[in-house]
Chain A
Amino acid sequence: MTVPGTAAVADAVPGAGSGTPLLEVRDLRVTFSSRGRRAVKAVDGVSLDVAAGSTVGIVGESGSGKSVTSLAALGLLGKRGVEVSGSVRFDGEDLLGMPEAELRALRGREIAMVFQDPMSSLNPVLTVGRQITEILERHRGLKGQDARDRAAELLVSVGIGDAVRRLKTYPHQLSGGMRQRVMIAMALACEPRLLIADEPTTALDVTISAQILELLRELVVGSQTALVLITHDLGVVAGLCDQVHVMYSGRIVESAPRRPLFADPQHPYTTGLLASVPRLDQARGIPLLPIPGSPSDTLPWVEGCAFAPRCTRQVPECLGAPPALLPARGAAGGAHLVRCVNPVEDGS
C-alpha cells in the first residue's frame, strides 16, 4: 500500500506557538505490515508540538493511534514489520534518525515514560530499590549509598512513606497504586524534560486514580517537565491539560486548549464522545447519544474522512479527499483546529 496523495490543503500544526518547542512531531506515519495481511496504518500524518513545561493531552479510543504515536516518537516500536516516516525532533535533534545508543541515553534521562500497567513494566525479580538505583547509576553516575539515598528521596516525593524499607520490596508486594507511584518515581528520577504518561490511571481504582492524577499535577504541572498525557478519558484531560488533541483512526481530528475544546467542540467525533458519556453533575434524565457503529468501521478505500461511516453529519465531500486540519470557526490565534468539512455548529 502506498502513502496516499497529499491533501489539497496542508495541515496546520496543533499546539504550535512561538519559539522552538521541546518536542516537534511532523507528519508522523506508522504502518504495520505482516506477510499475507493488509498493512495497517496506525498513525497517519500526526503533527504536534509540545512546549517546555506544558501539559498536553492526547485523547482517543483503542486503535486511534494515540499510544503508537508516542512509542514511534521514542523509537520504541522495534524494526520488523514497522515503517515509520516523518520527523520527530526533541530539542532540535532528530529522534527518528538517531543511533540506538544515543537514543537510549536520551530515554530515561531527558524523556521518560509511564505506562498503563505498572506490574508488567516493572521487573518482578528485582527490588524496587534496585530498579530505581539502576537508572541513577546509568544516567546520573550515582553509586552505592548515594544512589540509595536519592532513590529513597524519590519514593518520598511520590508519597510513599517508610521509603528506606520500601526500597527492599518487590513489585508484587505493592498494591497497584503504589506500583504506579514507583513507576512515576522512576520516570522522574533524572528530572526529565519530557514525561509521557500512557493511560497512567486506567488500571487503577477510582480513588487511587485520583491520587495519582493529583500526584502528577503536583510534580509536573508548573515544573520544568513537560507532560504528554495519553488517555481515553475526557474527564482526565479536562482538569489537567493545556492543549488537548483528539485522535481518531490515526489522525488528529480536533485540537484545542482544554477550555475551548469542552466549551465549543466542533468535530462530530468530539461532540459524539462528550454526548455518549454520562456526567455525574448532570440531571439523570438526559439520554445518552451513542456514536453509531464501532471504531473498526472504516471506508473500504483510503481516501476520505475515517469517521465518515459513523458520522451523523456526513456530506458527500466527506468521502472525497481527506479533510485537512484547519483553524476552527471562531478560534483566535490558531489554537483550535478541526479536521472536518462539516463541523458541528452549536457546540453542545
Chain B
Amino acid sequence: MSLLEVRGLKVHFPIKKGILLERTVGHVRAVDGVDLSVEKGRTLGVVGESGCGKSTLGRAILQLEPVTEGSVVFDGTDLSTLNGRDLRAMRKRMQMVFQDPLASLDPRQSVESALSEPLRTHGVKGPYDARVRELLDLVGLPATAANRYPHEFSGGQRQRVGIARAIALNPELIIADEPVSALDVSIQAQVVNLLEELQKRLGLTYVVIAHDLAVVRHISDDIAVMYLGAVVEVAPSDGLYDGPLHPYTRSLLSAIPIPDPEVEDSRERILLRGDIPSAAAPPSGCRFHTRCPWRQPTRCHDEVPLLRTLPGVAADHTVACHWAEQIAAGQLQPMSPEEALIGAAGGASEPGSGASNRGDAGLMPPAADPR
C-alpha cells in the first residue's frame, strides 16, 4: 500500500471583495482535483511553473492549507478526519523542507535551539545534546555549528540546518518545496546528494516540489507535471524525458537549456506563447488548450481530459490529453506558437512570476485588463 495517497484534492481560495461586508466573488482554484500516490521509500517529483499550484499541493498534503474537497490518506489514515492532538501526532511523521532557509529559520535562534525545538514540541524527553550532535553529523555539519546562528552560515549550510530540523523527529515523509532553487549552482549538487543519502540511510519518502525539471528528474523516481492546478502527466523519471506524452511536458522539456552547445544547436524547440492563464478563471475543457500547439477543433475546449494510460505505453505512465495517441504517433502536427495562442493577446492576466500563488492569482485579472 502507498504511504501517501492523494485523491481528488481541491484547494480553492476565496476572492473577497468589499471592506465591511466582505463577500466572496469567486475562487482561485489553486489545486483543482489532483490524484497522486507515493510508495514508501520512493521519491515523487512535482514540477510546474509558478502559479501551477505545486506549493499549495505540498502544503495541503500536510494540512497546512484548508482542503476544499478530496482526501489525503497517509499510511491508511485520512488526515482530514483528524484534528487537534491527533493531527499533531501525525505531523511528527510528516515534515517539510522550505525553499529559503534564511526565511524559514528564526534569525535569533541558535542552531541547537532550532534543532531541539521540534523535539520539545512533540514531547521528546531531554537532554537533547546528543540528538542535536547526531543530526548535525547526519547533514554534514560540524558539532560546533550548534552554538551558531543562521546568519553565520552560507546558503548551503543553512539549508543543511533546515533539513536537519525536518528529520529531527524521524519522520517518514518529507515534503521539500524548492529545496535547492535558492542556492548557488555549485552548492545545489551538495544538497541534492545529501537528500539522496539521507533517503538511503533513513528510509525516507520524499515529495520534491520544484520548477527545475533537471533537478527533479535527477532526484525522483516518478514525476508529476502540473499545469494550472491539475496534474497533466505522471511518469517514471526516465519515461518522462524519453517519451513525454503531454504537449505541455514536451514544451517544458524543450524549454530547459542544456549546457552543451552541440545539443543546444540541434534540438527541437517547442515555444509557447503567452503566459499561464489565471487560476481564478481557468480555461474550459483542457486547461492547456489556450496555449497548446497541438490543439484540435473538437474536444479540447469543452471536454476536461482525465489522466489515462495509453495502449503501448507503460501502465505507470499516465497523461491527461485527448489526442495523446495521435500526437505520439506523429499524426498531428504542431501549429506555430502564434497560431496556437488564443484569448488574451499576449496574456496579461498572469501574476508576476515571483508572486506567490496564493490569492494574488485571483486579484490580478480584473485589474489587468484596462478597457
Residues of A within 8 A of B (CB): 61-62, 117, 119, 159-162, 165-166, 168-169, 172-179, 203-211, 213-214, 232-236, 238-239, 258-259, 262-263, 272-281, 283-284, 287-292, 294-296
Q: Are B353 and A177 in contact (CB under 8 A)?
A: yes
Q: Are B354 and A235 in contact (CB under 8 A)?
A: no
Per the 8 Å Cβ criterion, residues 346-371 of B in contact with A are 346-354, 367-368, 370
Q: Are A206 and B348 in contact (CB under 8 A)?
A: no
Stretch at the interface among B58-66, B115-123, B255-263: B255-263
* A–B complex contacts, Cβ < 8 Å, 30 sampled: A61-B185, A117-B354, A119-B354, A162-B346, A166-B346, A168-B370, A173-B348, A175-B347, A175-B350, A175-B352, A176-B353, A176-B354, A177-B350, A206-B212, A207-B251, A232-B185, A233-B185, A238-B257, A262-B259, A278-B214, A280-B214, A281-B263, A284-B238, A289-B189, A290-B188, A290-B192, A294-B187, A295-B154, A295-B184, A296-B154
Chain B residue nearest to A274 in the complex (CB): B259
B179 in the interface (beta carbon within 8 A): no
B79 in the interface (beta carbon within 8 A): no
Flag B41-82 by CB within 8 Å of A: 1 or 0 each: 000000001100000000000000000000000000000000
Given contacts A206-B256, A262-B259, A290-B193, 13 further A-B contacts (CB under 8 A): A160-B346, A204-B353, A207-B49, A208-B49, A210-B272, A211-B271, A258-B261, A262-B260, A276-B186, A277-B188, A288-B192, A290-B189, A294-B157
Residue from A173, A236, A288 in contact with B193 in the complex, judged by beta carbons closer than 8 Å? A288
A208–B346 alpha-carbon span in the complex (Å): 12
Flag B174-192 by CB within 8 Å of A: 1 or 0 each: 0000000000111111101
A280 with B241: in contact, given A210-B271, A232-B185 (CB under 8 Å)? yes
Q: Are A238 and B260 in contact (CB under 8 A)?
A: yes
A290 with B186: in contact, given A177-B275, A207-B252 (CB under 8 Å)? yes
Residue from B192, B213, B260, B269 in contact with A214 in the complex, judged by beta carbons closer than 8 Å? B269
Chain A residue nearest to B216 in the complex (CB): A278
Least Cβ–Cβ distance between B309 and chain A, in angstroms: 22
B253 in the interface (beta carbon within 8 A): yes
A117–B353 alpha-carbon span in the complex (Å): 10
Residue from A62, A165, A168 in contact with B184 in the complex, judged by beta carbons closer than 8 Å? A62
Q: Which residues of A contact B254 (CB under 8 A)?
A: 210
Q: Are B253 and A280 in contact (CB under 8 A)?
A: yes
**Residues of B in contact with A, size category:** 35 or more
Q: Are B352 and A276 in contact (CB under 8 A)?
A: no
B155 in the interface (beta carbon within 8 A): yes
Chain A residue nearest to B219 in the complex (CB): A278
Q: Which residues of B contact A233 (CB under 8 A)?
A: 185, 257
Residue from A262, A263, A280 in contact with B213 in the complex, judged by beta carbons closer than 8 Å? A280
Residue from B185, B211, B265, B349 in contact with A239 in the complex, judged by beta carbons closer than 8 Å? B265
A235–B214 alpha-carbon span in the complex (Å): 11
Q: Are A205 and B353 in contact (CB under 8 A)?
A: yes
Q: Which residues of A contact B281 (CB under 8 A)?
A: none
Q: Are A294 and B251 in contact (CB under 8 A)?
A: no
Q: Are A290 and B275 in contact (CB under 8 A)?
A: no
Q: Are A119 and B154 in contact (CB under 8 A)?
A: no
Q: Are B269 and A279 in contact (CB under 8 A)?
A: no
Q: Are A287 and B193 in contact (CB under 8 A)?
A: yes
Least Cβ–Cβ distance between B225 and chain A, in angstroms: 11
A53–B347 alpha-carbon span in the complex (Å): 32
A211–B188 alpha-carbon span in the complex (Å): 25
A174–B370 alpha-carbon span in the complex (Å): 11
Q: Are A259 and B50 in contact (CB under 8 A)?
A: no
Q: Are A211 and B185 in contact (CB under 8 A)?
A: no
A206 with B211: in contact, given A62-B184, A280-B253 (CB under 8 Å)? yes
In this complex, which of B50, B237, B238, B351 has the most chain A Cβ atoms within 10 angstroms of its Cβ?
Answer: B50
Q: Are B354 and A173 in contact (CB under 8 A)?
A: no
Least Cβ–Cβ distance between A284 and chain B, in angstroms: 6
Q: Are A238 and B154 in contact (CB under 8 A)?
A: no
Closest 3 CB pairs of A and B: A235-B257, A239-B264, A176-B353
B218 in the interface (beta carbon within 8 A): yes
Q: Are B186 and A234 in contact (CB under 8 A)?
A: no
Q: Are A210 and B217 in contact (CB under 8 A)?
A: no
Per the 8 Å Cβ criterion, residues 127-172 of B in contact with A are 154-157
Residue from B187, B257, B276 in contact with A290 in the complex, judged by beta carbons closer than 8 Å? B187
Residue from B189, B237, B265 in contact with A284 in the complex, judged by beta carbons closer than 8 Å? B237
A162–B347 alpha-carbon span in the complex (Å): 11
B345 in the interface (beta carbon within 8 A): yes
Least Cβ–Cβ distance between A151 and chain B, in angstroms: 16
Q: Are A284 and B345 in contact (CB under 8 A)?
A: no
Per the 8 Å Cβ criterion, residues 266-285 of B in contact with A are 269, 271-273, 275-276
B340 in the interface (beta carbon within 8 A): no
A273 with B185: in contact, given A169-B370, A234-B259 (CB under 8 Å)? yes
Chain A residue nearest to B349 in the complex (CB): A175
Q: Which residues of A contact B273 (CB under 8 A)?
A: 159, 211
Least Cβ–Cβ distance between B272 and chain A, in angstroms: 5
In this complex, which of B190, B251, B264, B352 has the most chain A Cβ atoms within 10 angstroms of its Cβ?
Answer: B352
Per the 8 Å Cβ criterion, residues 192-248 of B in contact with A are 192-193, 211-215, 217-218, 237-238, 241
In this complex, which of B188, B237, B256, B351 has the most chain A Cβ atoms within 10 angstroms of its Cβ?
Answer: B256
